[in-house]
Amino acid sequence: MEAHYLEFLSMLVRWLHIIAGIAWIGSSFYFIWLDNTLEPPAPDTDNAKKGVSGELWAVHGGGFYNPQKYAVAPATLPQNLHWFKWEAYTTWLSGTALLILVYWLKAQVMMVDPNVANLAPWQAVAIGAASMIGSWLVYDGLCRSPLGKHEGLLAGVVFGLLTLLAWELSRTLGGRAMFMHVGTAMGTIMAANVFFVIIPGQKKMVDAMRAGQVPNPVYGKRGKQRSVHNNYFTLPVLFIMISNHYASTYSHPQNWAILMLMAAAGVSIRHFFNRKHKGVYAWQYPALGAVLLATVAWWTRPQIVQLPPVEGVVNFNRVRAIVGQRCIVCHSPQPTYPGVTQPPAGVLLHTPQDLLLNAPRVYQQVVVTRIMPLGNVTQITEQERAVIAAWVTAGAKPE
């Protein structure tokens, strides 16, 4: 019963995380589009005289809108001022809670892979937490350094350091955990940008105005820089959020490189849209993204490891015995393996009918990607993988 409520809590937190993420990323996309689409008001107009640097007329949902952006701030502030911050905070808090529920509390299964590194669960969790905090500290230091004044160079250094992080985590954590913690490192940077830079800077500008002073424009420039950075992180983070459904990526021998190629593709595609909103159609960027995605598709194509010759008769009963010993502890209605509360991906293998129905998935995960059993915690042998392969390729017959 306790396991059920824990799983239900995980579902609710995941739901909240998706909802908040949609709101945050949607506002990020909208405001970057808005900034890139604003047109300066005509000279000597009222808007130009009151400090408006750009405006836009739009129609949506049957209504007309006229958003305006000030070069620094308006002469007076309205009493009600909306702050875009809780979308970011809720996304990070729910994502971190989900990380704890799904990965940290089940570190032995979800994070530790003896084939990668023989870690204790607490060590894996410590590495994951350090990657989140350390990534923000390094990134923030780079942005505040003289390098922060050179956007292109800064972007290259940050991407290189994230690649180094992915490579290092691939040497210590299981593939799925590595992907997820690179994603949480990016997400932590994004949320910390809002919490430590964007919102404090905006508050200082508001406080200055209410004190009758001219706001320092540096806070606006700094906030805009971090907001643009967040915009470029969005597509790589979204890919990581769905990546645990695609074992061909995180189970690849060079999974760190696969991850960063996908991230580079996302950044290239995002850059195209940001340029397009300014009226510049730079088609080389989506073309680069397409090349990178095609490279990943080719690199992650199925390549079955050479398996040993199968000894003896291969039939359903033999395969069922292997599955019963190596897989049922997790893939049953009530898993018995410590830390597993529900069958992974909802796949059941405890009855003959379930095994026959899921035979192609068993083949894909056990023989092709070799991601199952997770970390090979049940110690399936190469001979047993060969038996499953022989049975499925022969038609997965129930006899």
pLDDT for position 168 = 98
Half-sphere exposure of 214 (CA within 13 A, CB side): 5
What does the pLDDT read at residue 238? 96
Percent pLDDT > 70 in the chain is 99
Is-contact 227 198, C-beta < 8 A? Answer: yes
What is the reported pLDDT for 303? 76
Confidence at residue 173, expressed as pLDDT on a 0 to 100 scale: 96
Q: What is the DSSP letter of 292?
A: H
Tokens linked to 262: 């996908």
**Per-residue model confidence (pLDDT) at position 2:** 67
pLDDT at residue 114, rounded to an integer? 86
Separation CA 290–CA 274 (nearest Å): 17
Q: Which residues does the chain have with pLDDT short of 50?
A: none
**CA 273 – CA 35 distance, rounded (Å):** 13
The per-residue pLDDT for 191 is 97
Q: What is the pLDDT of residue 244?
A: 87
Output the pTM of the full model: 0.85
Max Cα distance, the chain (Å) = 91
Tell me what percent of the chain is helix, strand and coil, each rounded to the nearest 5.
Answer: 65, 5, 30
Q: What is the CA radius of gyration of the chain?
A: 26
Report the Cα–Cα distance between both ends of the chain, in Å, rounded: 37
Q: Do 20 and 354 touch, CB atoms closer than 8 A? A: no
Determine the Cα–Cα distance for residues 374 and 371; give it in Å rounded to an integer.
6
Q: Which DSSP category does 39 fall into?
A: B
Give the whole-angstrom CA distance, residue 296 versus residue 271: 20
pLDDT at 1: 52
Identity of the amino acid at 30: Y
* Residue that has been written with the tokens 């769905």 in this structure: 242
Which pLDDT value is given to residue 73?
A: 81
